[in-house]
Each structure stands twice: as C-alpha cells, then as structure tokens.
Amino acid sequence: MSSSSTKSPDHHAILLDNNGCAKSNLGDPLLSHDEQGQDGAGFVRTSFNGLNALSGIGIISVPYALAEGGWLSLILLPMIAIICCYTGLLLKQCIDANPRIRTYTDIGGLAFGNKGRLAVSVFMNIELFLVSIGFLILEGDNLNKLFPGRSFEIGMYKIAGKQFFVLLVSLIILPTTWLRNLSVLAYISAGGVLASIVMVGSVFWTATVGGVGFHELGRPLNIVGLPTSLGLYTFCYCGHAVFPTICNSMKNKAQFSKVIVLCFVLCTINYASMAVIGYLMYGNEVQSQITLNLPLRHLSSKIVIYTTLINPFTKYALLITPVATAIEERFLPYNKRCFSIVTRTLLVCSTVIIALMIPFFADLMSFIGSLLSIVVSMFLPCLCYLKIFKHLRKSKFEIVFIGLIFVFGVIIVILGTYTSLKQIIHQMQ
C-alpha cells in the first residue's frame, strides 16, 4: 500500500489512501492483503514516517520538563523511551499475529473483542481531542508574544491577548476541518521531522551566535516537579496509535522492528538535545514553551517560533477528523455534507471553549502524557500482547519487565494526573 503519513504533534498520524482521503487510525475496517495492494514504503521512507509520528510539539516543552525535575530527571527520558520502544515492539508482534490487522483498534478487537476495540477507540479519540486543544493554546501563546496588545470588541466585551489569537486561529482553521480530501495538508505537514531538527538547531544558534549563552546551572533534582516531568516526557513518545498503520504501509514488514528502534533512538537524541540546550540557556526560568523565552530580535528565534506556529495550522484538521468521523458514523443517521460540517464546527467550538477555559499548555500536555499516553503507549500494548499470546510461554525476564512497566505506569498515572489537574485547577482560580 502506498501511503503518506502525517504526524499529529502530538503524536498521532493519519495515513491517506490513493485518492487522498483521510483514513482514521481509530477504526478502519479490516482489509486483506489483496485489498491493500502489493506496493509499499521502503525502510527509509517508513523511518521518516515513524520519526514524523514521534516528533511533535512536545519538543518545545522538554526544557521545561527538565527544569521541573532537575538534571537528574533527564535519566527518565531515555528510560521512558526504552519502555515505549519495547511496547511498540509488542504491537509489532500483535500485528504479526493476524495478517488482517490494519490499525490499533484492530489489535484491541483481536485481543478483547468489541469491548477492546471500543476501549482503544475511546482513549485515542479523547487524546486526539485534547491535543487539538493544546494546538490552540500553543498558537495563542506564541502569536501573543509576536503581536502583543492585539484585541477586538464585541458589544460590551473586549477580547484581547491569548484569547483573541485563539479565536482568530480557530476561525482560520475551521474551513480546513470541513475538507474530505486532506492530501494537501498531509503533504505540507510531512515536514515535521525537518521542523523538529530546525527548531533544535535554531535554539542552539540563538544561544551561541545570538548571544543568549549558556549561563544557567539549574538544580540537580526537584522531587516536587518530577510528576510534571514524567508526564511531559511520556507525551513525547505517544506515537503508538499509528504504528500499525505505518507498519502495514511498509513493503517489508519484517524490518519494522528496526524502524521502531531507530526512530526512538534518533528522537531521544533530539529531545534530549533540546532539553539540555534550553535548560542551560534559561535554567529554572524557562517557560512551558521555550519559544516564549526566546528574544524576538534574533532571526533564529523567529524561525523557531514561526516553525512552531505553522505545524498546528496544517495538522489540526488531521487530528480532529478521526474524532469527527467516529461521531458521524455512530450518531448521524445520514451521511450528508451539511451534518458533517455542523459536527466538525461544533467540535472546533468545543476545543476553543476549553482552550479559553484552560489556557495552560504544559499542564494540559502533562495531563495527556500522565493519563492517556500511559494507557495508549504502555498499558494497552502490554495487555493486548498478553491476551493474544496467552498460550505462548514467556520468559521470567519478560514477565518481570512487563510487570515493572505496569508499576511504573501506575505511578505516573497517579502522581502525574493528580499534579497536572491540581495545577490546572489552581491556575483557574
């Protein structure tokens, strides 16, 4: 199957069929090999698809994650990468268990029937919805930095600052969510891998040539901030939702395990580089998005900010489309264009309302990473693997390692979710 992949900064991708129509990774019907065709992506192209699935908006928050936990918390980044890489390999084994598996929801269905398919779909839809909200918050924060003081009035009400830009961006993005053919957006957003590299390079350039320098020592460890660090680090690696689709787009699926390992290694190097550079530049004063710290007088700073701003414009529709499709298929009696437009408009409005109510980017991303990403990227792959291969004898090391993953994941869910919700509630008061 020949396909193009796009990454939701987040971390989710949507592949396109040969007609350029978006195919949700949340519940495509099972397709046979003959239906998929014989063509496929090679190792290099699949590697770029995988890198694009893991390289998202989390990169602008890793310096803040490091600042929250201190230097020693950086050890957690490769630790989480190893765990998520392993669970990605478990998904690959689940894919090999049945040649008709095409999506993550198919794996849930194979393991636990319709209930498993529904559970996977629900968690992934909620995650996509919340990441879409994060996009709007990100746009509002950075546009307000570039163009401070902008506002408009509606009757007696004045809307200014971040709220103004969140509304403005949503109005610009709204028509893109009505499109059925998203192939143009997909090709534009396929530059996500390059964008992540450019961002790290530009931040480094700002520190060295731009004169900001590396003057901050930071702190060795901040136990209080570790839950936030864990949530943000985990958010960086939640690309599992699209792994089955990318795997099935590959010409030689036996090489997909190597693709997974390569992608996690390269992304970890990129994330760690940004975290260290940003923390050395601004120390404990680094903001939830490092773009908010960068001085606007430098060209390299503007490159980082504009690169950050472009991605959400091209990827928001790709994130919201699977959610809209799931709603339309379940609740709309007729597959009419007008119903589809109304549904998608209401979805966009709901993300705008929540973005205006909870304009805290890092806390929202930490919540997603601490709860939803843990479930999708750690718990579900392990549970599906254990269920599908329940008759296969497993080594003691494998059983112990999977057990440790559950323990580690539960700790993050409890501490990270509690901390992020507490911070969100506190900032809303």
Q: What stretch of H or E contains 350?
A: helix 337-357
Q: For residue 277, give Cα distances in angstroms to 13, 14, 66.
A: 28, 31, 11
Of 277, 299, 231, 298, nearest to 290 by C-alpha is 277
Q: Which amino acid is at 298?
A: H
Tell me the pairing of strands 7-8 and 12-13. antiparallel
Instruction: Report whether pLDDT(327) > 70.
Output: yes
Query: CATH number of the domain at 7-428, please?
Result: 1.20.1740.10
Model pLDDT, residue 241: 84
Model pLDDT, residue 361: 86
Model pLDDT, residue 180: 61
Mean pLDDT, rounded, for 304-329: 79
Instruction: Report whether pLDDT(185) > 80.
Output: no
| Tens digits of residue pLDDT in 197-253 | 888 888 999 888 877 888 888 899 999 999 999 999 999 998 888 888 788 888 888
Place of tokens 């939803």: 372
Within its chain, how far is the Cα of 395 from the centroid? 33
Give dist(CA 327, CA 273) in Å, integer: 40
pTM for the model stands at 0.82
**What are the residue boundaries of the structural domains of the chain, listed by start?**
7-428
Give dist(CA 401, CA 244) in Å, integer: 23
Mean pLDDT, rounded, for 150-155: 71
Within its chain, how far is the Cα of 9 from the centroid? 4
**Token representation of residue 144:** 């307000």
Give the residues across from 21 on adjacent strands: 181
Per this entry, what is the length of the chain? 429
Among the residue ranges 48-52, 124-128, 186-190, 369-373, the one predicted with the least confidence is 186-190
